[in-house]
Amino acid sequence: MMHKTFIGLGSNLGDSEQILREAVEKLRELGVVSVSKLYQSPPMGPQDQPNYHNAVAQLITDLAPLALLDALQSIENESGRVRSRRWGERTLDLDLLLYAEKNIINERLTVPHIGILERDFVVIPLLDLDSELKINGQSLQSQELVQHSTLTVLADQTWAD
């Protein structure tokens, strides 16, 4: 059984574009991947850290939620992930945003991901992949933050080809 999932990608340490490209390559081992445009995004959290590169990948996979989470954490660790303070800079962040239409709450995982609707660096790339996407019945397109985006487009949807 194949499941449609969405993964948030973020990096603001090292060669972020290359790091995100390599992450997408590894995601392709888990299923069929499409990517959003690549964006630059000002940091949410402490402001004395570099801007982020952000994107979202749609992954169609047969992995169960926690098996997928394990795989994402392995990719983060293989990337030589460095993460200093809480809400601080990191080499690679892979967040499981959505898993099919499921609501999941356990110690390791909350899906839909917390704060998803408040983060333009998640909502806008999600809309690249599905302009009609709804989360808990709420349309993303109607979100206030879509109209007041702080993102800059760095590359179109072929950036990870």
Question: Is residue 93 flagged as an active site residue?
Answer: yes
Based on CB atoms, which residue is closest to ligand ROI, 116 or 140?
116
Query: Please, what is the minimum distance in Å from the beta carbon of residue 150 to ligand ROI?
Result: 8
Q: How far is the CB of 87 from ligand ROI (least distance, A)?
A: 4
From the list 90, 53, 58, the residue with the least C-alpha distance to 73 is 90
Closest CB to ligand ROI among residues 3, 7: 7
Q: What is the DSSP letter of 51?
A: P
Q: Which residues bind ligand ROI (CB under 6 A)?
A: 10, 41-45, 52, 54, 87, 93, 121
- Measured from the CB atom, the residue of 6 and 121 that comes closer to ligand ROI is 121
**Residue 3 or 53 with smaller CB distance to ligand ROI:** 53
Among residues 21, 28, 62, 81, the one annotated as catalytic is 81
By CB atoms closer than 10 A (0-12, 13-18, 19+), residue 56 is buried
CB of 62 to ligand ROI, least distance (A): 27
Q: Does 128 qualify as catalytic in the annotation? A: no
Given 90, 119, 120, 128, which residue is catalytic? 90
**Catalytic pick from 48, 83, 93, 130?**
93
Positions marked active-site:
81, 90, 93, 95
